[in-house]
């Protein structure tokens, strides 16, 4: 039987009132004292982003084109000095796994292997990779590519870095080869979430 007050009504404890007050005050206290840390990019952010879409190249089939032909998708660019060797294959496989990890958004991402060795003819199938686009940069165009892809602390484009272009053709990030692929994946996931293009 419940205890009765002097007026004959059941006496309620203070706990429901305290719980009700806590429900309304706790979020205010958390918001006041919580200092969120900002998102930290895993790669090197290029500031300001550079428009690189007008750079000339030849696709592996010999068709002359420009980097602008890749607009509309997030594009990872990896420079190789010739035949896609063990390092090149490992990098591309990592980028392909990152692309596939995006599930229904994987169609928004592509990889480009840019061959910078003048000794490899554009039709040499040994330089191509089955899961990436492959292009050949002629010796006469290398200077412009080096200037466009120059990142502090590297000697582009042979520096062994991974570059990220946004869907509008801007170079916006670069990564060292030794980076954990999960860090690249996290950056890309965030960029795709907040981006209104591509």
pLDDT in tens, 177-190: 888 888 888 888 88
> Is the pLDDT at 72 greater than 80, yes or no?
yes
- Going from N- to C-terminal start, the domains of the chain cover 46-194
What's the mean pLDDT in 13-38? 69
Among residues 83, 67, 94, the alpha carbon closest in space to that of 149 is found at 67
Question: What are the distances in angstroms from CA 150 to CA 27, 72, 157?
Answer: 47, 23, 7
Q: Which CATH code is given to the segment(s) 46-194?
A: 3.40.30.10
Report residue 76's pLDDT band, with 50, 70 and 90 as the boundaries.
very high
Average pLDDT, the chain: 78
Whole-number Å distance between alpha carbons of 65 and 193 = 30
Q: Give the position of tokens 């009765």.
A: 4
What's the mean pLDDT in 92-109? 88
Strand, helix or coil for residue 174: strand
pTM above 0.75, yes or no: no
């Amino acid at each position: 039987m419940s205890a009765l007050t002097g007026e004959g009504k059941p006496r309620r404890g203070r706990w429901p009132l305290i719980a009700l007050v806590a429900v309304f005050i706790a979020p205010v206290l958390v918001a006041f004292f919580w200092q969120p840390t900002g998102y930290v990019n895993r790669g090197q952010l290029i500031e300001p982003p550079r428009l690189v879409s007008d750079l000339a190249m030849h696709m592996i089939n010999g068709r002359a084109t420009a980097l602008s032909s890749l607009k509309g998708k997030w594009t990872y660019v990896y420079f190789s000095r010739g035949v896609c060797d063990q390092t090149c294959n490992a990098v591309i496989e990592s980028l392909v796994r990152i692309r596939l990890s995006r599930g229904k958004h994987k169609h928004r991402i592509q990889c480009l292997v840019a061959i910078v060795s003048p000794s490899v003819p554009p039709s040499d199938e040994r330089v191509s990779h089955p899961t990436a686009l492959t292009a050949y940069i002629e010796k006469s165009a290398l200077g412009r590519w080096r200037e466009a892809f120059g990142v502090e602390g590297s000697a582009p484009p042979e520096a062994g870095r991974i570059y990220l272009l946004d869907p509008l053709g801007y170079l916006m990030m670069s990564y060292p080869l030794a980076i954990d692929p999960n860090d690249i994946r996290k950056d890309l996931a965030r960029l795709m979430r907040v981006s209104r293009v591509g």
